[in-house]
Chains A and B, each alone.
Chain A
Amino acid sequence: MRNGAETVPEAEDEARLRAEAVAFTRYLIRDEPTPEVSARYAAANRTLLGGESTARERALLATCLARPWTLPFLDAVEARRQAPSLLRDKVLVMSAVLETTTRFGARFLPLKRSGPVLLLELAVLGFVAVFRVAGGMVLVRVLPGLRA
């Protein structure tokens, strides 16, 4: 068991899982999940993520749900840590669920860009990605319970 780990109650609160589905869908594709997508996300969580989580992992999740603007930063900073992350796992599960629907799947399909436009967009996205990590590093220091 990981440090400070606790077992998530078996019947994880359906309402909380649905709230996560909403927050993660908004974060990932700036859209609202359909009830079917939320239900599938909840089912995937129960199947794949019903195990243990640490106090820090729960705090990260709670912060993202209470203050959705922190999610892009905390997800980015978690990506830099080479450690298991419940938040990353949950966002990945949401991505998988969204990608395999007819309604949202197109947002995960390849985009065609001309060479210069592609390079410009990659530069902007790269800058944003780095900014998110930097912002995340600050947030983990100032918000309670998030330090590794």
Chain B
Amino acid sequence: MTDVLVVGSGAGGVHAAWPLVERGLEVAMLDYGNEDREYASLVPSEPWLALRTTDESQHRYLLGDRFEGITLGGIRVGAQLTPPRLFIPADTERLTPVDSATFSATESLAKGGLAAGWGAGVFPFDDADLAGAPISAADLAPHYEAVAERIGVAGDDDDDLRPFLGECRAMMPAMAIDSGAERVMARYAAQRERLNAAGLFVGRTRLAACTREHRGRGPHRYFDMDFWADDRRAVYRPRWTLDELAAKDGFELRDRRLVSAFREDESGVVVTTTHADTGEREEHRARALVLAAGALGTVRIVLRSLDRYGTPVPILCNPYTYAPVLNVGMLGREARDERHSLAQLTAIYRPEAADGRIVQAQYYSYRSLLLFKLMKEAPIGHREARAILRRLQPVLGILGIHHEDRPSARKTCVLHRGPEGGPDRLAIDYRLDDAEALRHDREERRLFALFRRLGCFALKRIRPGHGSAIHYAGTIPFGPEGKGLTCDRDCRVRGTRRVHLADGAVFPYLPAKGLTFTIMANADRVGTLLANELA
């Protein structure tokens, strides 16, 4: 019999599976497994500017064969999800529908999950970030190291972010930053003490990317194509770990399976699935189950399996705001062509008297997401917009700001039984209270003021709506014994014998830092605990 079934091949699933397979256990991964079969092979391995003037078929992957890269109407979530990345959320509207007037959820049924297109920002949690969890940063430390080695992390180990991100022995040299970010860092260096005293700390973003050859990947070639292709697999995707797992004895990927529920009996766990292509219903048995279907996917499976339809559970997602900024330090300067497209810089703002709470911002330069998308947002005619934005592009940056999120009675999701033959529907109600909204407003203004000292002037503040950070968590959180729909320290769902969680569902609090590196480290911890138990 299979030892462990792992549901999901995303950031959580692959790192939970790894230690189990390493210990010689038989692991089967169940995943819906959508892939890109259309565009990856069309994108040349060339720098952005070069292919724009030479590749006759660029419109196919830049706009998509069904023009899915042109979005009309209001501001959309996940601008980085370009046509070659649209396999990531494919089929979710149909198979995992969400009803909400206040929250827009982006889920994935893809091989590698959402991290097949993530921004690769790596931000270990400290003890304050793990508030409400029965684990500490020390518990996660060896797992952060193991995961960092597996995925490849590049960053500065002794910059001003280190007090917030800790040290990482496995770290490669940081990615080179682009000309715009260099100007910001030069101004930061000149005023560092004053800015630090005001609560602002800036450094190069720690990225899950290879700056040297590592596990057959990289080094990154600075083609500015990271939103479109996976050149040399330099930027980490869970798919790379999945490929490594697939080459190991004891691991089996059972893809094209939509998992609906689990139940336990004397021999272990039984998981029911529907085959994506044949519609056939199947049962899979194992001694234990690890759910890593994403915080929303996992809560669906748990609520359905425990027949808790109609019961509200919490939901968290970092409130997100972004702002186009003019980086005046770039005025009249030539921007280097070589660059990566991911977050160049990370700024941590620690408001006064905030008990260690932080606001985190990422600085990006805008180029490879195409000009017409900016022209659309300009409140002037397209001709003048094109002329102005071409001139401004070298000085244009984007500041993406994340705030912490805490559970409240106004942030809940409920699973409703679907109509006969149709999928169950997750209803999400997510609202900030006035104090939270006011605090975000105040702290964003303060952050913009500090960025003005770095030569960056915000042009407009854009709030793309709740859910837009795509950092979902807290749906089956760590909780005390006896409290239903929570999990214990080992991430075991309370009331089950061997059903464990390995995604964002377990975190009862979200700091402003992206959570995915911690999902991976915790998944590695869960896999290790389970391996000790079963081996």
Say whether A92 contacts B72, CB under 8 Å. yes
The residues of A with any CB-CB pair to B shorter than 8 Å are 27-29, 40, 43-44, 47-49, 72-73, 75-76, 79-80, 84, 88-89, 91-93, 95-97, 99-102, 105-116, 118, 121-122, 125-126, 128-129, 132-133
Q: How far is the CA of A122 from the CA of B384 in the complex (A)?
A: 10
| Given A100-B58, A105-B53; A92-B384 close (CB under 8 Å) | no
- A108 with B383: CB separation less than 8 A: no
Query: Which of A79, A89, A128 is within 8 Å of B378, CB to CB?
Result: A79
Chain A residue nearest to B58 (CB atoms) is A100
Does B278 lie at the interface of the complex (its beta carbon under 8 Å from any beta carbon of A)?
no
* B55 interfacial contact with A, CB 8 Å: yes
The reply to whether B390 and A109 form a contact with Cβ atoms under 8 Å apart is: yes
Residues of B close to A108: CB separation below 8 A: 370-372, 386, 390
Q: Give how many A-B residue pairs fall within 8 Å (CB-CB).
A: 134
* With A76-B381, A102-B55, A105-B52 as contacts: A112 and B334 at CB distance below 8 Å: yes
Contact A79–B380 (Cβ < 8 Å): yes
Given contacts A102-B55, A106-B53, contact A132 B380 (CB under 8 A): yes
Q: Which residues of B contact A114 (CB under 8 A)?
A: 332
B437 partner residues in chain A, CB cutoff 8 A: none
Q: What is the bound-complex CA distance between A75 and B379, given in angstroms? A: 10
Residues B386 and A47 in contact, CB atoms below 8 Å apart: no
Smallest CB separation, A116 vs chain B (Å) = 8
* B:59-84 near A, CB below 8 Å: 59, 62-63, 66-67, 69-70, 72-73
Residue of A nearest to B390 (CB): A111
Contact with A along B363-392 (1 / 0, CB 8 A): 000010011100110111111111110111
Min Cβ gap A112→B in Å is 6
Q: Would A28 and B383 be within 8 Å (CB), given that A92-B72, A97-B59 are in contact? A: yes
Residue with the greatest number of chain B CB neighbours at <10 A, chosen from A76, A105, A116? A105
What chain A residues lie within 8 Å of B73 (beta carbons)?
84
Contact status A133-B52, CB under 8 Å: no
A47 and B52 within 8 A (CB): no
Q: Are B391 and A76 in contact (CB under 8 A)?
A: no
Bound CA span A80–B381, Å: 9
The answer, yes or no, to whether B2 is at the interface (CB within 8 Å) is no
> From residue A8, how far is it (CB to closest CB) to chain B in Å?
15
Minimum CB–CB distance for B50 against chain A, Å: 11
**Residues in B whose Cβ lies below 8 Å from that of A132:** 380-381, 384
CB atoms of B372 and A92 under 8 A apart: yes
Chain B residue contacts of A133, Cβ below 8 A: 380-381
Cross-interface CB contact of B372 among A96, A113, A118, cutoff 8 Å:
A96
Contact A48 B72 (CB under 8 A): yes
CA distance A123 to B418 in the complex (A): 57
B393 interface residue per 8 A CB criterion:
yes
- The answer to whether A125 and B384 have CB atoms under 8 Å apart is yes
**Residue numbers in B under 8 Å from A113 (CB-CB):** 332, 391
- Contact at A118–B63, with CB atoms within 8 Å? no
Subset of 24 A-B contacts with CB under 8 Å: A28-B382, A28-B383, A40-B59, A43-B67, A72-B383, A89-B72, A92-B376, A96-B372, A97-B63, A99-B372, A100-B62, A101-B58, A105-B53, A107-B390, A110-B390, A112-B335, A116-B332, A121-B391, A125-B384, A125-B387, A129-B381, A129-B385, A132-B380, A132-B384
B54 within 8 A of A: yes
Besides A114-B332, A122-B391, 15 new A-B residue pairs in contact (Cβ under 8 A), listed by A number: A49-B72, A80-B379, A89-B72, A92-B376, A93-B72, A96-B370, A99-B371, A105-B52, A106-B53, A109-B371, A110-B390, A111-B394, A125-B388, A126-B388, A129-B385
Q: Which residues of A contact B59 (CB under 8 A)?
A: 40, 97, 100-101
Q: How far is the CA of A102 from the CA of B46 in the complex (A)?
A: 14
Min C-beta distance of B38 to chain A, whole Å: 15
Kindly provide the distance from the CB of A69 to the nearest chain B CB, expressed in whole angstroms: 13
Measured between beta carbons, the chain A residues less than 8 angstroms from B67 are: 43-44, 47-48, 93, 96
Q: Which residues of B contact A112 (CB under 8 A)?
A: 334-335, 394
Q: In the assembly, what is the distance between CA of A121 and CA of B389, in Å?
A: 12
- Name which residue of chain B comes closest to A108, CB basis: B371
